[in-house]
Structure 1
Amino acid sequence: MKGDAKLRLRHVVVEGPIGVGKTTLATTLAEHWGARLVLEKPAENPYLERFYEHMGTLGAVRGNPLALQTQLSFLFQRVEQLKEIGQPGMFEHGVVSDFMFAKDAIFAMLTLGDEDLALYRQIYRRHSAQVSEPDLVIWLQAEPDTLLARVRRRGLAMERSLGEDYLQALGTAYHRYFAHHRGAPVLAVNTEAFHPDEDSADFSRLIARIEAFEGPFEFYDPPDRPDRLPTPVQRG
């Protein structure tokens, strides 16, 4: 899918819940535009695997004893990555990332108890004032059962404990955040029947939609292509 296109925006973020296809799409967009790719690094979070293990044991979103450590580790990781993005010359060819700074706050509201959340917010506010907004957020969406199927398909061991209830709560948290969002322009994309991360024709449709984007918020819900629809059953 690589082309001669150039990214006219300095920083594009691909966001959305677990399993929606952020990293794959961000990688493809960066290659298409010849932009620098900046990905979050879950494998470098020393608490994440044990956080997921406790989630499976507890069977609940809140009450996880590793939640605060996990969220703060991600927060400090993003602070360092966004400092790197802000260095002189970084935007020469554009940047595509698979996270926005506020991502961690969305997860924190979902997983932290009241006292830990209050502490987290103090630390978050201290750093958020130094973070610049991206030029465009591409918010990928899908239903919880679709997300769960995609998570199961990629087969990461640490994600085995993730269930549909958690993914439902996470999707709701994203909707709540963007309902009150007043920052970067947002292009929301329904990926139920649209797969720009793995289908070249859908990717081309997304590029055209990005180029036509006027903002500040638009929702793109393309119908499935006729060539992908199942053949009707002939009855006789």
Structure 2
Amino acid sequence: MIGEEESLKASKSCSTGQSSSRSGLLTMDQKHSSSDIFISISGLIGAGKSTLATKLAEKMGLPCFYEPVMDNEYLADFYKDPARYSFPLQIYLLNRRFQQHQSIIWQGQGGVQDRTIYEDSVFARVLMESNLMEEREYRTYLSLFSNMSNFMKKPNLIVHLDVSPEESLRRIKNRSRDCESSITLEYLQNLHKAYEVFIADIARIIPVIRVNYERFRTTEEMADMIVR
């Protein structure tokens, strides 16, 4: 997939990692210098990224960088008219996540990021393949991402939350955000398929832990599994 290939190119200088479900992927050296730790949480809409990011940041004493949702001036319009607003939304999100990366670099305190900038390409690709984004817009998006990638800090670890499209939709309905009311199961299924390819590819470059949320009683248990 073109988007995932661009993400991989942006991460080439990082040491090889393997997708894993085992705990404790943070090394002892990393744990003792948590100011250098940068962890990204990935997953479908409604997977529980923000909740885990908060708990993980608390446990490790790191700042948390949340996905721009409540203050996103394009999100509601996008769900009403995806074809019109898909490109400006993706550019807006790319810019905001790039700003977060710059903050992590310049503040020098590490951080936990609620959704990684690399997985934005998953959404852009699905939108293009669904004819909701023009191919020229998609190429422009990838070119901009490639240029930005020269100034980005790669995560030490990506924690991917495995949630089925059906469970994702159930959680979306339960949290009842007006802007998400038009999300369909088909859209989530397409995202899920694209995520499988993305995670398999990015795990060759950045260490990945895949976590099934349903295996844990609490978010705290999950955070403990990651840092112990």
TM over 0.5: yes
Is 1:11 paired with 2:38? yes
| Cα drift, residue 20 of structure 1 | 0.4
Is 1:190 paired with 2:206? no
Structure 2 alignment gaps of length 5 or more? 1-29, 128-132
| Cα drift, residue 73 of structure 1 | 0.6
Is 1:107 paired with 2:129? no
Residue 79 of structure 2 is matched in structure 1 by 52
Residue 60 of structure 1 is matched in structure 2 by none
Kindly tell me: are residues 183 and 135 of structure 1, through their superposed partners in 2, closer, same or farther at Cα, counting changes over 3 Å?
same
- Structure showing greater radius of gyration is 1
Q: Matched residue pairs, number?
A: 190
Is 1:76 paired with 2:95? yes
Aligned equivalents of 2:46, 2:139: Cα separation in 1: 28
Aligned equivalents of 1:28, 1:206: Cα separation in 2: 7
The 10-residue stretch of structure 1 (105-114 or 149-158) with the greater mean CA deviation from structure 2? 105-114
Whichever structure has more helix as a proportion of its residues is 2
Secondary structure at the counterpart of residue 47 of structure 2: coil
Report the TM-score when normalising by structure 2: 0.77
The 10-residue stretch of structure 1 (128-137 or 41-50) with the greater mean CA deviation from structure 2? 41-50
Contact 1:133–1:183 (8 Å) recurs in 2: no
Percentage of identical aligned residues: 28
Aligned equivalents of 1:148, 1:88: Cα separation in 2: 36
Report the TM-score when normalising by structure 1: 0.75
Q: 1:91-117: CA deviations, max 9, x gaps?
A: 3xxx11112121221111111332211
Residue 174 of structure 2 is matched in structure 1 by 153
Following TM superposition, the consecutive aligned residue runs of length 4 or more in structure 1 with deviations greater than 4 angstroms are: none
Aligned equivalents of 2:123, 2:78: Cα separation in 1: 13
Residue 228 of structure 1 is matched in structure 2 by none
Secondary structure at the counterpart of residue 158 of structure 2: strand
Aligned equivalents of 1:208, 1:180: Cα separation in 2: 24
**Coordinate RMSD, CA, aligned:** 2.0
Aligned equivalents of 2:68, 2:81: Cα separation in 1: 20
Structure 1 alignment gaps of length 5 or more? 1-6, 56-63, 212-236
Kindly tell me: are residues 209 and 120 of structure 1, through their superposed partners in 2, closer, same or farther at Cα, counting changes over 3 Å?
closer
* Higher RCO (CA 8 Å, separation ≥ 6 residues): 2
Aligned equivalents of 1:54, 1:209: Cα separation in 2: 39
Which residue identity is paired with 1:176? V
